[in-house]
Amino acid sequence: MQKKSELQVFREYLQKNRLRYTQEREQIIKEIFATHDHFDVDTLYLTIRQKGIHISKASIYRLLPLLIEADLVQDVFFEDGHMHYEHIYGHEHHCHLRCIECGKIEEFSDPRLKDVERDLEERFGFKILSHKLDVKGLCPDCREKLKKMA
Amino acid sequence: MQKKSELQVFREYLQKNRLRYTQEREQIIKEIFATHDHFDVDTLYLTIRQKGIHISKASIYRLLPLLIEADLVQDVFFEDGHMHYEHIYGHEHHCHLRCIECGKIEEFSDPRLKDVERDLEERFGFKILSHKLDVKGLCPDCREKLKKMA
DNA sequence: AAGCTTAAAGCGAATCTTTATTAATAAGCG
DNA sequence: CGCTTATTAATAAAGATTCGCTTTAAGCTT
């Protein structure tokens, strides 16, 4: 069975909510899914512009909540004064390990986090919906670099 | 052995970095440590103002990075368009479980996260410095409320 | 204790991100 | 094809954070 494309998923989401599938939205989504990289609004905007496509930044801001609601995108972390996002459709759930020196990001997942969730449900009576584990450290290169400096 | 006060810790941090211990900084820190609650810049600013103490908001913004660097404060999450903080000195490390309906926050910690950190060090060669697990869900009250609505 | 150096404060302007407004456009249904 | 109305671009507005500049005051040094 063929997996649905992100555009199909988004179309269905729109139909369910009586919203419209526009050229602009299609172009933005295509760009978001064109690379695996994380992105922020400004670089996404500039990338689209560079291709000669004219889309206003406000349209990106308006689209993002819909993509998040449709589980196609998630916000990853707030840094440098603005939010960073990534597309998640078709990927396993994962968390992020970031180097505080150079910004390098590794993705990982760990089954123990599900266990933690289960414990929390039991202990606090919450219905758990999501978790986000953000780990910071020094990548191998930066460790080496700092060792030499000291 | 008596634990050092947060002010002492901050003093030492300042000395190490040849920075100055000012009236303003002392008053801001005292206010931050006066309650266990999470805080944001604006409410902290207003609370201080209400006590008749005049401190500019910029001074708070300038102080926060120092407090974070000195491990007295950490940023907890970005919400409602701005960052939220908490003082951490004298507390065990903990993570946050938040209700997406009412905003209620439970704190917890789990030894398995240390295990995850160890695995990450081994697997990616990073030196791990910190982790932050943010779990979202529905608290017992809101689960009940939503059940009745449906 | 006074003098000196310079970090830090206050203030307001500037910047940056994100949201709201509004008139014009176009999706998509009948 | 025409109608309804969601969506767009553009711009203004709002809110958070930072910057620049002048004045104040920590905290050495003598």
B98 and B86 inside one domain: no
Nucleotides of C under 7 A from a protein CB: 7-12, 16-21, 26-29
pTM over 0.85: yes
Question: Of B41, B62, B91, at which residue does a domain stop?
Answer: B91
Taking CB atoms and an 8 Å cut-off, how many pairs form between chains A and B? Answer: 117
Chain B, nearest residue to A106 by Cα: B124
One-letter identity of residue B30 = K
Banded model confidence at residue A109, pLDDT cuts 50, 70, 90: very high
B82 and B15 inside one domain: yes
B112 and B71 inside one domain: no
Domain boundaries, position B68: 1-91
Nucleotides of D under 7 A from a protein CB: 6-12, 15-20, 25-28
The span from the CA of A71 to the CA of A96, in Å, is: 18
- Residue A78, nucleotide of least CA–C1' distance: C17
Per-residue model confidence (pLDDT) at position A148: 87
A110 has a chain B CB within 8 A of its CB: yes
Q: C24 C1' – A28 CA distance, angstroms?
A: 22
What confidence tens digit (pLDDT) does each residue in B11-47 have? Answer: 999 999 999 999 999 999 999 999 988 999 999 999 9
Per-residue model confidence (pLDDT) at position A30: 97
Q: Provide the CATH number for the domain around residue B101.
A: 3.30.1490.190
| Domains in chain B, number | 2
In this predicted structure, the answer to whether residue A2 has a pLDDT above a threshold of 70 is: no
Q: D10 C1' – B14 CA distance, angstroms?
A: 48
**Residues β-bridged to residue A138:** B127
What confidence tens digit (pLDDT) does each residue in B84-134 have? Answer: 999 999 999 999 999 988 889 999 999 999 999 999 999 999 999 999 999
B84 and B109 inside one domain: no
Banded model confidence at residue A128, pLDDT cuts 50, 70, 90: very high
B136 has a chain A CB within 8 A of its CB: yes
**Chain B residues within 8 A of A129 when measuring between CB atoms:** 100, 136-138
A56 and A122 inside one domain: no
The span from the CA of B118 to the CA of B110, in Å, is: 14
Question: B135, A128: Cβ pair inside 8 Å?
Answer: yes
Chain B, nearest residue to A131 by Cα: B135
User: What's the gap in Å between the CA of A2 and the closest CA on chain B?
Assistant: 32
Task: Work out the mean pLDDT of chain A and round it to a whole number.
Answer: 95
Question: A127, B136: Cβ pair inside 8 Å?
Answer: no
Residue B129, token pair as written in the block? 């410095």
Number of residues assigned to chain A: 150
| CA within 13 Å, CB half, B113 | 21
Q: C9 C1' – B5 CA distance, angstroms?
A: 25
Q: D4 C1' – A20 CA distance, angstroms?
A: 13
Average pLDDT of the residues in A106-125: 97
Per-residue model confidence (pLDDT) at position A101: 87
A8 φ/ψ sector (left φ>0, alpha ψ -120 to 50, else beta): alpha
Structural contact between residues A111 and A73, judged by C-beta atoms closer than 8 angstroms? no
Angle at A70 between CA A75 and CA A72, to 5 degrees: 55
A146 has a chain B CB within 8 A of its CB: no
Question: Of A71, A91, A111, at which residue does a domain stop?
Answer: A91
User: What's the gap in Å between the CA of B125 and the closest CA on chain A?
Assistant: 5
Q: Provide the CATH number for the domain around residue B39.
A: 1.10.10.10
Question: Of A59, A75, A91, at which residue does a domain stop?
Answer: A91
**Chain B residues within 8 A of A123 when measuring between CB atoms:** 108
A75 and A108 inside one domain: no
B5 and B76 inside one domain: yes
What confidence tens digit (pLDDT) does each residue in B35-85 have? Answer: 988 999 999 999 999 999 999 999 999 999 999 999 999 999 999 999 999
B8 and B68 inside one domain: yes
A64 and A98 inside one domain: no
Handedness of CA B60, B23, B74, A145 (dihedral sign): positive
Q: Which residue lies nearest C9, CA-to-C1' measured?
A: B59
